[in-house]
Amino acid sequence: MSTSAHSQKRVAFLFLDFLKSGIADGSIRADDAEGIEVASQCISEAFGVDLDKSEDVQAYGVQGESLPSIVDKFIASPAPTASTSTSTPAPTAAPATAEQKAQAEKAKSKGNQLMAAKDYDGAIKSYGDAIELDGQNAVYWSNR
């Protein structure tokens, strides 16, 4: 497994643990718990991690650390100094035309259908197609 894939699984595992803790400690309202549990199942399946598997706890858990404590440490650490690189910023995309927006919306809808069918790779591709057509729509980025 690549380092990137391992890191992604670790982040998903820590996020699932964060959600589970939020339900247990009441920071997530009881009315929202069922939705969070469904979302947790989707995340668990999508990333192939399970909080109840001892091998996943061993591989992806961080002993004595929780996601909030890791975030707190990151925020408390000094910011890196400005880079001396002379690279130019990436150009911003031109606003999408009405036709491009319509095509992007179709691609997003196709991605939603593929997600419902659990074709995650296909859904990511469709969401990517939507982003290429209208990269300024935050919904397409969040779906991907």
CATH 1.20.5.420 fits domain 3-76: yes
Q: For the segment 36-86, what is each residue's pLDDT rounded down to a tens digit?
A: 999 999 999 999 999 999 999 998 888 878 888 888 988 998 877 665 555
Q: Which residue has the tokens 């820590």?
A: 14
Could you tell me where the DSSP H helices lie in the chain? 3-25, 30-47, 54-60, 67-76, 98-116, 120-133, 138-143
Q: By the 8 A CB rule, do 133 and 101 touch?
A: yes
Q: Where are the domains of the chain?
A: 3-76, 98-143
Residue 124: what pLDDT?
Answer: 87
Q: For the segment 92-138, what is each residue's pLDDT rounded down to a tens digit?
A: 667 889 898 899 899 989 988 988 898 888 888 988 898 888 888 88
State pTM to two decimals: 0.53
Q: How far is CA 46 from the centre of its chain?
A: 10
Q: What is the mean pLDDT of the chain?
A: 86
